[in-house]
Structure 1
Amino acid sequence: MKTVQFICMIAALNFFACAQQETSNDVAISTALAGDEPLPDYVKQALNSETLQDTVVKSEEEWREELTQEEFYVLREEGTETPFRNEYNSNKKEGIYYCAACHNPMFTSYTKFESGTGWPSFYAPIAKERVKEVEDITMGMVRTEVECARCGSHIGHVFPDGPEPTGLRYCLNSVALDFEAKK
């Protein structure tokens, strides 16, 4: 049954994206995932201000100089922060979540939900092109890692147990994110 729902969702996204040719693909996809309501202007501005063409490539030494020790551990060494003791798990403000390493807009409060896991959770990225999903076979299990599509930093994991409309739970590390409240 979930396979049928997933196929229907993909078909609806493709239809919606084609119907919204005057907007960017990022905005069309995000709007479809968020529902029938158009995206707020601050989300559109974030998507238009940062492009994925500006790929960020740095040495591990450069990253170590720029990031805090905890940021480096999570973003570059694929660590995990402590649940329930992080900055954005309980954040209820409206705004955009960016990659803490390169400022790529990746998630919005529009798709954030309370998962009870102790980490900030979202049912969809701001646009699918903003994140990269990679198979992770560490810790004796198979999971899907979420990376920043712009700089390759580890952000968290995605699981197939989230709410509708996607059924996904992007379980992320607060330290891997920067938050900018809606202005």
Structure 2
Amino acid sequence: MALSADRPVGGILFDRDDTLVVDVPYNADPHRVVPVPGARLAVQRARAAGLPVGVVTNQSVIARGGATRAEVDATNARVDELVGPFAVWCVCPHGPDDDCACRKPRPGLVLQASEVLGVPAEELVVVGDIGADLGAAAAAGAQSILVPTRSTRAEEIAAAPTVAVDLAEAVALVLARAVERP
């Protein structure tokens, strides 16, 4: 599957856990950050093509009291060191029952990243491993690519508009639709 041929792409937003780094549930320990194989190279390739790259991530560990925002920020900084750098980090600190506008699959994180990057949401592609990532993209008017993992449900794969085998393929699909930004 491919991205829409009639929509230019001006930036990529990645999910953090199980997309850029190996998922450690509720991780807020920088020492436990391990990049997904090929993540650094895929992100470098996108940046080298001139695309702004960012991260949109739900981190309910904060709302659950398992970590502070500073601990999550330190973990994200480690991801930035190992995989990035990223132009923007948008983090939802809320829990599933908090009814916030930012928790994926709601559009808040994607819209916030769009504003910070100066790229219209409809020109962004969200790359993630579960339906909530794709739902946030759709709700914001962005496109999406699913990179399935062991955690991805079969119905999420079936419903995904675009599926890539890994991050390298996802970035290649994006680069095929990328536009030069002033």
TM-score scaled to structure 2, two decimals? Answer: 0.26
Relative to total residues, which structure has the larger strand share, 1 or 2? 1
- RCO higher in structure (CA 8 A, sep ≥6): 2
> TM-score when scaled to structure 1?
0.25
Larger Rg: 1
